[in-house]
Amino acid sequence: MVYQAEAASMPIWCRNKHGVSRVVSPRQQQGFTLIEIVLVMALVALATALVASTISRNSGGQRLRDAAQQIAMGLRQARTEAMRSQLPQRFVLEPQQHRWAIVGRNARPLDPDLEVTMESGRELAQNAQQGVIVFFPDGASTGGRVTLARNGQRWRSDVNWITGEVTLQRDGAP
Over the stretch 83-138, which tens digit does the pLDDT of each residue have? 999 999 999 999 888 899 998 888 899 888 889 988 887 665 566 678 899 999 99
Whether pTM exceeds 0.85: no
Instruction: Please spell the DSSP secondary structure of 61-83, one letter per residue.
Output: HHHHHHHHHHHHHHHHHHHHHHH
> Residue 95 domain-assigned?
yes
Mean local confidence (pLDDT), 165-174? 81
**Domain-embedded: residue 149:** yes
Query: Contact, 129 vs 152, CB < 8 A?
Result: no
pLDDT at 10 over 80: no
Task: Provide CB contacts within 8 A for 114, sequence distance 6+.
Answer: 64, 67, 98, 148, 149, 150
The pLDDT, as a whole number, for residue 174 is: 44
Number of structural domains found in the chain: 1
pLDDT, averaged across the chain: 83
Q: Please say whether the dihedral angle defined by the alpha carbons of residues 115, 120, 126 and 128, taken in this order, is positive or negative.
A: positive
Residue 75 within a domain: yes
31-58 residue pLDDT tens: 778 888 888 899 999 888 888 776 655 5
CATH of the domain at 95: 3.55.40.10
Q: Which domain holds residue 85?
A: 64-170
